[in-house]
């Protein structure tokens, strides 16, 4: 791996780590719980309630951060 690829890989890892850190933010956790409650803890694709649920965005904005959650 050349030096440029190593630097790019390091920046990608840093961005990913920063992104994953946002999930621990209390504002994100609150929003997540609100979504689960709104959807009655059911998958919005199959409406199942037995599998592990994950919150997903309808679309993603690269500039959105947890700090911009109302």
- Measure Cα distances from 41 to 19, 31, 34, 36 in Å: 24, 14, 10, 5
Give the 3-state secondary structure of residue 21.
helix
CA max distance for the chain: 50
Q: What is the pTM of this model?
A: 0.58
What does the pLDDT look like over 19-67, one tens digit per residue? Answer: 888 888 898 899 889 989 999 999 888 889 998 888 776 666 666 565 5
- Give the Cα separation of 14 and 8 in Å (integer): 10
């Amino acid at each position: 791996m050349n030096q440029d690829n190593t630097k790019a890989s390091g920046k990608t890892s840093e961005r990913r780590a920063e992104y994953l850190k946002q999930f621990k933010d209390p504002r994100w956790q609150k929003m997540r719980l609100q979504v689960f409650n709104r959807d009655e803890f059911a998958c919005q694709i199959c409406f199942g309630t037995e599998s592990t649920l994950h919150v997903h965005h309808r679309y993603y904005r690269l500039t959105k951060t947890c700090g911009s959650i109302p």
